[in-house]
Amino acid sequence: MINNVVLVGRLTRDVELRYTTSGAAVGTFSLAVNRQFTNSNGEREADFINCVIWRKAAENFANFTSKGSLVGIEGRLQTRNYENQQGQRVYVTEVVVNNFSLLESRSESEQRRRSAGNTGSSNNFAGQAPANNAANKPAGNANPFGTPSSSEGNVFNGSAASTTNDPFAGGQEIDISDDDLPF
């Protein structure tokens, strides 16, 4: 049997990151995916697809995306049901994400967010800056890979004056012999 879903779209809101009682991270979000055709008014409609992502991937996804981010996801379609407090059976269909790709750079994402907030444009993602849920996210722009991000003073911006452990900072040369190469 085949159950494979591949989607490219924009987040309609920030990822809602929560933790199970056993400590597993789970992120839920909705993805706006444009349809390939236009309606009778010549407007392109979008589908809003609910998605869920688990564990470390959920933490990474929540840390590196925000409302309006362009992402690609791969996963499987899942249908589940439960009984709500009123005793009604509720059916939920969602994409369980196995893999994701960030399809725009952080600078493009921040630039889009700034221009959408300043111009008051009428697109679906204009408005206030994304909410930062401090209870669920690390403080600041924490990098889950343990390496400093550019906002933490690393040399990724090309500045050699920064004080880091970068062996290439300040024009230092590194001696590498043929024995050091993996090929």
> The domain that contains 54 carries what CATH number?
2.40.50.140
- What are 3-43's pLDDT values in tens digits? 999 999 999 999 999 999 998 999 999 999 999 888 888 88
Is residue 161 domain-resident?
no
- What are 128-151's pLDDT values in tens digits? 333 334 344 444 444 444 444 444
Supply the pTM of this predicted model.
0.59
Measured distance CA(136)–CA(168) in Å, rounded = 36
What total number of domains does the chain contain? 1
Domain boundaries, position 131: 5-36+44-145
Measured distance CA(52)–CA(17) in Å, rounded = 10
Measured distance CA(149)–CA(127) in Å, rounded = 27
Show Cβ contacts of residue 29 under 8 Å, excluding neighbours closer than 6 positions: 11, 12, 13, 14, 15, 16, 50, 51, 53, 61
Closest CA to 67 of 123, 138, 22: 123
